[in-house]
Structures are given as structure tokens and as C-alpha cells.
């Protein structure tokens, strides 16, 4: 979508959106490239290192079969399809199938526990889930509380609580006529954490893919270029992996490398980048910091990187300089959130990054710093980072939460909930959240669900969760607990409580730090004062 001009200002001035009335993400990201030419779409490396390659023709056939399976299972236009899988060919096929069938894909993180899965699947009334044996076992535990769930398909073959997805695909036709969806029809539902209560489902339309393209192209110095190959350690269950990498690459007919480490290993990541000659990568700040710790002076292998993009926090001058010296690229920072992603970005091909800034407005997006009424404030003054609406990348709204959706807007702007300021040159600087969201290892984590989960442990009477600074992960999840009578603090109890959250909620959300207290600071109305807890010293 971007046409390169000599300067950022000229590139921005020359940009025009091209969003047709009718648009389908599955067709745009796959079928239009499936012309029998054998164009490479996916290089998949499993956990043992075995490599498989898939063309757009392969993906078109497999996603057509999956779309027929979904339709036979009763998934109609607008019906929800849960996808509980890591980076894998089956994950991509399930997404493409849902889009082509006019259904709504609901990506689910493989580290989610049973409570997190139950809430999301029940809230969206998913009809079908595609998962593996581990995921099927989790769903089997909660199946009786999911009355709308009709089928659980397992990519590993028959499993407890799941029927064989390969067998279902084999018996389905590889011919499917994609639904003639409109650009504003719903296509994707991604749950995002809130500060209180349960997670909210951010519902996106098919046009969200088009809305991401300028940001992807800018953050990767006018992607695509001949020979480009994209990889990210970010899971495709999150908007960063799915819409910052996978689908935009396929929209351009470019290949993607799929390899999801169960736990990020910098040495293995360097090896992967070198072996496959990866040209482009989205690396969250925590991954960059771990790579720097493993190779402070020089990369252990020869790299072929052309671009690296990063998002989640301001990287700072030292990490940017390390990227130039060791990775051989100027790391382009970008900014967004699930509701409105990739609206700010740096671009080494157009301008020098400014340490501390998270980029300039991506062409096509109007970003401003506003007060709580949605009124822009002067340059240099702090306020909320906001995106002018309407915009192709913004969400349709929170799933079945019109009040929460309305609260997200003011004065014609979508409010991100992040504070910052813009300087006279258009660089935006991030200050922090206006709420209690915790940013840890690239994940945005709401304290509410963790506190609810902690209270289900028999030893916990009262719980409060905050984020505390950490040099590697940005923040660590810390829990303050008041125990019930009869329980005493101990290392064994701490490990038990941590495991409780890991199993029931998610492995990336458990409190790495636990402090036992006699009482918590409360307002006169009984609400926990989390800002005071952040000041408490152990």
C-alpha cells in the first residue's frame, strides 16, 4: 500500500486507503496466490527440527477442506471457531478456513489454563474448536460447561474429548466457494485483558488486514523486497504474530517461517535466523534483551537480516545501538494495541530513530495526544495517545459490551489508555498506562483475572496484583496475599499458589513474586489501591 517517496512527509502525503466494499481476508491472504504456480507460503520447522514447506496451493486446498468441515459442523456466517494451536500449518489453515466461511476466528493461546479457556469459549459461544491433544484434554475438563460447543477437532488424531481433524479433512472436499463478505463484516475475535473483571473480546472486521499493511510496510522499510522472509517468536494467537507477520506477508504473497519455541532460547533463535536466512523479524523487546544478553558484542552466526521491528515498550538508545552493531539493522519500533494496532512506527529508510520515541504516525492513521474529553493538547504536553476514527485498523467493538466500547471513544478518537506526548517533529513518546495493565515480556496482563484466580485457592482470603519494574521483562507480576486463618506463609505454599494460577489461568500470567501481608490498602468504598502497593518495599 505504501509508495516510497524521498521523505516521510511526502510518503505520508501521497498515501490513500484502498478498502473495497467487498473483502475477505482468507481470499486475499491465500486464494489469490493459489494459481498452480507452487508459490512458497510457509516453511514450518517443528520442535525436533524437521522442516516442511507449503505452497499457497497447498494452503488453499487444506483451508477449503477445513471450511467444509466447519460448515458440516454447523458453523454459519458469523459463527465462532476457536483455534487453540501454536505456530503450525494447521493453525494457518484453520484461520483461513474460518475467514473464507464467513465465520469468526477466535485465537486462543496454548498456555491458557482451563479457567481462561472456559471463559472465552463460553463468552463467544464457540461452536467448534481446533486444537491438539494437550488442548483437547483441557477442554474435556470443561466441556459440560460449554453447551454451545459442538465439535472439538484434534490435529494429533483422536484424543480425549477430541475427534481426528486429519480424518475429517480427508473426507471433506477441497473445493469451497468463499463467502462474499464485506470489508466491515466480523472476522476475528481476540480477547484482551482489562484492569477489572473478565477479559474483553475485541472484534475485528476483514478490513483489519488492510489496516495493518501500512504499519507492516513502514516498520520493515517498505516490505516486501525480493528475498524477504518473515519470522517472529510471537504466537499467532496474539495480534502481533497474526496481523503483524503472518497475514500481511501472505497478502503480499511472501513466505513466512513458522517456529514457535516453547520457551524463548536466544541461542536457538540466532541459529534459526542464520540457517533459514531470515530477512525480516518482529522481535518483542524481551526477546531483543535476551538476544543481547546472549551476544553482547557480536552475533554468534552470520545473519541475513534486512529489517527488525519491535513493539511493546520503548527500547532506548543502548538497545537500538546494539541492534545496529550486532544484528546489522536499525530496529524499527512501532506501537499499537489489540483494538487499533500498528498506528505509529519508526522507519530507518525514511528517518533516523529518536531514542525514547515509539515512532511517528503511520501513513493513513491520524494519531494525536488528547485529554480525557478527546481534545488534542499542544505539542510537548502529556495526554492520552489516541487514534482518529473511523480507521480501517480499529476494531468493531468489544464482544457484547456496548458500554465498554462507548467508553473507548471520546471526541471522535479511539483512546488507547496509554499516556504520552508528541514533539514538534511528530515523534511520539510513551509515558505509561492510564490504568493498571501490566506489561510483561510483551504481554499485556490485566490484574483482575489473576486476582479472581488467586481467590479460588483455599489458602487465599484477599489478593491484589500489580506490575513491578524488571529490566528484562519490563514488569513482573507481583501478588500481595492475605491468607485465611490456619495458613502460614512458606516457600511451599508460594509454589503451590503459583502453580494454581499457571494451570487454571495461564503460564505467562502467574505471579513470579508473592508477598504475604496482614491487610491491603483500600479506598473508603473498599477498592484496592494498587498504586500504593507499587510503592511498598519488601
Which distant-in-sequence residues (6+ apart) come within 8 Å of 443 by Cβ?
A: 238, 508, 509
Inside any domain, residue 280: no
Q: 277-300 burial string, b = 16+ CB within 10 Å, else e?
A: ebbbbbbbbbbbbbbbeebeeebe
- In angstroms, how far apart are the furthest CA atoms of the chain? 71
Answer yes or no: are the C-beta atoms of 464 and 309 closer than 8 Å: no
Inside any domain, residue 196: yes
Tally Cβ neighbours within 10 Å of residue 455: 12
Spatial separation of the C-alpha atoms in residues 302 and 472, rounded to whole Å: 25
Answer yes or no: are the C-beta atoms of 431 and 416 closer than 8 Å: no
Domain residues for 196? 21-206
pLDDT tens across the length of the chain (538 residues): 899 999 999 999 999 999 999 999 999 999 999 999 999 999 999 988 999 999 999 999 999 999 999 999 999 999 999 999 999 999 999 999 999 999 999 999 999 999 999 999 999 999 999 999 999 999 999 999 999 999 999 999 999 889 999 999 999 999 999 999 999 999 999 998 755 568 999 999 999 999 999 999 999 999 999 999 999 999 999 999 999 999 999 999 999 999 988 888 999 999 999 999 999 999 988 889 889 888 888 788 899 999 999 997 778 788 898 999 999 999 999 999 999 999 999 999 999 988 889 999 999 999 999 999 999 999 999 999 999 999 999 999 999 999 999 999 999 999 999 888 999 999 999 887 777 778 888 787 888 789 878 989 999 988 889 999 898 888 999 999 999 999 999 999 999 999 999 999 988 999 999 999 998 887 554 567 777 888 887 7
For residue 66, how far is the Cα from the chain centroid?
24
Element (H, E) at 418: strand 413-422
Inside any domain, residue 527: yes
Q: Comparing C-alpha atoms, which of 427, 268, 408 is closest to residue 338?
A: 408
Domain boundary among 149, 173, 206: 206
Tell me the C-alpha to C-alpha distance, in Å, between residue 159 and each of 81, 113, 224, 439. 19, 18, 41, 36
Spatial separation of the C-alpha atoms in residues 106 and 83, rounded to whole Å: 6
pLDDT at residue 445, rounded to an integer? 87
Whichever domain contains 505, its CATH number is 3.30.300.30
Spatial separation of the C-alpha atoms in residues 226 and 234, rounded to whole Å: 24
Answer yes or no: are the C-beta atoms of 233 and 283 closer than 8 Å: yes
Inside any domain, residue 37: yes
Which distant-in-sequence residues (6+ apart) come within 8 Å of 239 by Cβ?
A: 190, 336, 338, 341
Inside any domain, residue 39: yes
Q: 396-435 burial string, b = 16+ CB within 10 Å, else e?
A: bbbbebeeebeebbbbebbbbbbbbbbeeebbbbbeebbe
Answer yes or no: are the C-beta atoms of 152 and 162 closer than 8 Å: yes
Spatial separation of the C-alpha atoms in residues 132 and 159, rounded to whole Å: 8
Instruction: Write the burial class of residue 310 (CB in 10 Å: 0-12 exposed, 13-18 middle, 19+ buried).
Output: buried
Spatial separation of the C-alpha atoms in residues 218 and 303, rounded to whole Å: 22
Domain boundary among 177, 206, 235: 206
pLDDT at residue 438, rounded to an integer? 87
Q: Comparing C-alpha atoms, which of 343, 346, 342, 339 is closest to residue 317?
A: 346
Q: What is the DSSP string of 432-472?
A: EESS--EEETTEEE-HHHHHHHHTTSTTEEEEEEEEEEETT
Inside any domain, residue 309: no
Q: Comparing C-alpha atoms, which of 97, 146, 285, 123 is closest to residue 200?
A: 123
pLDDT at residue 527, rounded to an integer? 61
Answer yes or no: are the C-beta atoms of 223 and 307 closer than 8 Å: yes
Answer yes or no: are the C-beta atoms of 178 and 167 closer than 8 Å: no
Inside any domain, residue 176: yes
Domain boundary among 178, 206, 234: 206
Spatial separation of the C-alpha atoms in residues 92 and 256, rounded to whole Å: 11
Whichever domain contains 201, its CATH number is 3.40.50.12780
For residue 499, how far is the Cα from the chain centroid?
24
pLDDT at residue 195, rounded to an integer? 52
First-to-final CA distance of the chain: 52
pLDDT at residue 197, rounded to an integer? 66
Q: Give the SS3 label for residue 184.
A: coil
In the β-sheet with 397-398, what is the strand arrangement from edge to edge? 163-164, 151-154, 128-131, 80-84, 104-107, 186-192, 200-205, 397-398
How many domains does the chain fold into? Answer: 2
Inside any domain, residue 522: yes
Amino acid at each position: 500500500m505504501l509508495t516510497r517517496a524521498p521523505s516521510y512527509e511526502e510518503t505520508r502525503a501521497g498515501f490513500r486507503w484502498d478498502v473495497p466494499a467487498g473483502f475477505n481476508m482468507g481470499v486475499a491472504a491465500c486464494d489469490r496466490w493459489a494459481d498452480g504456480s507452487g508459490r512458497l507460503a510457509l516453511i514450518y520447522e517443528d520442535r525436533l527440527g524437521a522442516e516442511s514447506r507449503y505452497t499457497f496451493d497447498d494452503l488453499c486446498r487444506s483451508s477449503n477442506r477445513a471450511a467444509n468441515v466447519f460448515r458440516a459442523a454447523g458453523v454459519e456466517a458469523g459463527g465462532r471457531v476457536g483455534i487453540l494451536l501454536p505456530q503450525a500449518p494447521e493453525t494457518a489453515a484453520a484461520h483461513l478456513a474460518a475467514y473464507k466461511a464467513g465465520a469468526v476466528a477466535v485465537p486462543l493461546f496454548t498456555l491458557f489454563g482451563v479457567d481462561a479457556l472456559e471463559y472465552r469459549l463460553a463468552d463467544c459461544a464457540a461452536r467448534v474448536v481446533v486444537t491438539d491433544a494437550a488442548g483437547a484434554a483441557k477442554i474435556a475438563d470443561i466441556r459440560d460447561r460449554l453447551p454451545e460447543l459442538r465439535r472439538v477437532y484434534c490435529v494429533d488424531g483422536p484424543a480425549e474429548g477430541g475427534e481426528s481433524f486429519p480424518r475429517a479433512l480427508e473426507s471433506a472436499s477441497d473445493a469451497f466457494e468463499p463467502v462474499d463478505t464485506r470489508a466491515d463484516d466480523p472476522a476475528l475475535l481476540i480477547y484482551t485483558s482489562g484492569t477489572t473483571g473478565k477479559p474483553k473480546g475485541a472484534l475485528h472486521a476483514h478490513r483489519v488486514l488492510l489496516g495493518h499493511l501500512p504499519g507492516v510496510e513502514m516498520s520493515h522499510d517498505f516490505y516486501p523486497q525480493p528475498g524477504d522472509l518473515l519470522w517472529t517468536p510471537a504466537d499467532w494467537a496474539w495480534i502481533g504474530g497474526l496481523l503483524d507477520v503472518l497475514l500481511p506477508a501472505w497478502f503480499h504473497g511472501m513466505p513466512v517461517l513458522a517456529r514457535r519455541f516453547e520457551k524463548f532460547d536466544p541461542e536457538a533463535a540466532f541459529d534459526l535466523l542464520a540457517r533459514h536466512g531470515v530477512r525480516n523479524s518482529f522481535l518483542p523487546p524481551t526477546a531483543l534483551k535476551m538476544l543481547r544478553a546472549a551476544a553482547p558484542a557480536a552475533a554468534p552466526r552470520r545473519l541475513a537480516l534486512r529489517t527488525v521491528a519491535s513493539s511493546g515498550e520503548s527500547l532506548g538508545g543502548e538497545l537500538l545501538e546494539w541492534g545496529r552493531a550486532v544484528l546489522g539493522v536499525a530496529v524499527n519500533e512501532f506501537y499499537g494495541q489489540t483494538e487499533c494496532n500498528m498506528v505509529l512506527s519508526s522507519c530507518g529508510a525514511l528517518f533516523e530513530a529518536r531514542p525514547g520515541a515509539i515512532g511517528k504516525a503511520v501513513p493513513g492513521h491520524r494519531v494525536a495526544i488528547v485529554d480525557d474529553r478527546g481534545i488534542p493538547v499542544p505539542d510537548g504536553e502529556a495526554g492520552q495517545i489516541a487514534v482518529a476514527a473511523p480507521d480501517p485498523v480499529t476494531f468493531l467493538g468489544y464482544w457484547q459490551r456496548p458500554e465498554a466500547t462507548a467508553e473507548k471513544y471520546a471526541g471522535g478518537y479511539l483512546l488507547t489508555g496509554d499516556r504520552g506526548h508528541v514533539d514538534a517533529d511528530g515523534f511520539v513518546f510513551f509515558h505509561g498506562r492510564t490504568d493498571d495493565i501490566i506489561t510483561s515480556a510483551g504481554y499485556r496482563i490485566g490484574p483482575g483475572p489473576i486476582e479472581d484466580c488467586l481467590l479460588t485457592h483455599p489458602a487465599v482470603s484477599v489478593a491484589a496484583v500489580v506490575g513491578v519494574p524488571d529490566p528484562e521483562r519490563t514488569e513482573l507480576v507481583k501478588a500481595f496475599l492475605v491468607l485465611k486463618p490456619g495458613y502460614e506463609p512458606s516457600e511451599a505454599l508460594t509454589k503451590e499458589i503459583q502453580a494454581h494460577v499457571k494451570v487454571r489461568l495461564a503460564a505467562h500470567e502467574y505471579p513470579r513474586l508473592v508477598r504475604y501481608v496482614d491487610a491491603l490498602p483500600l479506598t473508603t468504598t473498599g477498592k484496592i489501591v494498587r498504586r500504593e502497593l507499587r510503592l511498598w518495599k519488601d
